[in-house]
Amino acid sequence: MKDQPELLLGCLHSPSVAAGGGMNNKSASQRISAAPAREVRRRSSSGPVQWDPAEERLFPSSDGRPMADNTWQARAMVQTHHCLEQHFRHRQDVAVCIDLLVYYLDGGMTRSVAPDVFVAIGCGKRHRMTYKAWEEGGPPDFVLEVASPNAVHKDLADKSTIYARMGVREYWMFDPMGSLLDPRLQGFELVEGSYRELEELDRRGVDLARYSPVLELEFHLRGDGLRIWDLRTAEYLRTLRNAARAEMAAKRVSHEEARRRRAAERELRHEADRRRAAARVSHEEGRRRRAAERELRHEADRRRAAERERLELERMVRELRSKLTPEQDEGCPPGSACP
């Protein structure tokens, strides 16, 4: 909701300029062309941020004003930023920013404005100190201003003119308090250099709905809140509260799944122990059975040996008897008469 007074590139240190001293467009253009080209750094989250004090003096990252004037405005800004950032989290070419100073060129002069929430498509997802339109390849594509009593008139008049001159394709306004804008949710698209209001949609259970062609999302006014409808999934984008609830539910589900997995693993271990015990019992029974079978075989061998010995003895007896006379066979001594 804040915009910064116009600044001349390369002349921020001049007391006359800071105090509102004038400079013609030719001189400003010469200073702009003479400014050294800066490489756009893609800052990695794994290392320290290379902060440039000279860059900060030339393009301040803060205008010294608070992000929001009240809790209604702050909540609407944070919720909308969260929803859009989560929605585009897999799009590496989309930047979603909140209360970030946007620097742009206007007639050879460098000006700045701080949209409450904006989306820039095609510029890349990375951390930024500021957004310089000439380095990013153009202005933001979508801007949302959340109305507050201190800036609602500026949003309606000055901001729409600024964003139209910048070339912002869509400009939206939302009134979280319900007493500053009528209707509370307004959306405009840039057509031939001026903004044309986006049509209202007829949606059941929704107080007011409008479609964003740039984001391919619907913005719904429901009660006191602004919700964003994803046409592809047919679901509302998750707010911080819903995301927290979903995260807690996911944690509960994850905890329950982990508990069940641990119980299943314990049961598998117990089952493995039972199988190993059963295998040991089976092995012992097998060993005993094999020992008993060996004993039976030995017993059968002994019986067969005894049977062979008995048969051999009977054979020997028969042979002896066959060699004896009848008297000898009956037990009479030789040379004696048996009765």
Residue 28 pLDDT exceeds 50:
no
My answer on whether 129 and 88 are in the same domain is yes
Q: Within 10 A of 171 (CB to CB), how many other CB atoms are there?
A: 26
Within a domain: 261: yes
**97 domain-assigned:** yes
Please report the DSSP string for 83-108 in residue order: HHHHHTTT-TTEEEEES--EEEEETT
Question: What's the domain count of the chain?
Answer: 2
Q: What is the 8-class DSSP label of residue 156?
A: I
The edge-to-edge listing of strands for the beta sheet with 225-230 is 208-212, 217-222, 225-230, 235-236
Same domain, 147 and 175: yes
Residue 9 DSSP code: T
Identify the three-state secondary structure at position 164: helix
Radius of gyration of the chain (CA): 48
Q: How far is CA 49 from CA 45, 58, 91, in A?
A: 8, 18, 23
Domain that holds residue 253: 243-297
Assess whether 107 and 190 both reside in one domain.
yes
Examine the domain organization and report whether 154 and 87 are in the same domain: yes
Q: Is residue 179 part of a domain?
A: yes
Provide the percentage of residues in the chain whose pLDDT is more than 90: 58
In a domain, 6, yes or no: yes
Closest CA to 200 of 213, 190, 185: 185
For 223-267, write each residue's pLDDT tens digit. Answer: 878 999 999 999 999 887 766 666 677 788 888 899 999 999 999
What's the chain's average pLDDT?
82
Q: pTM of the prediction?
A: 0.62
Mean pLDDT for the stretch of residues 86-98 = 95
> Residue 69 and residue 116: Cα distance in Å, rounded?
11
Rounded CA gap, 220 and 5, in Å?
A: 34
Q: For 303-317, what is each residue's pLDDT tens digit? A: 999 999 999 998 888
Q: Does 25 map to a domain?
A: yes
Q: How far apart are CA 178 and CA 76, in angstroms?
A: 12
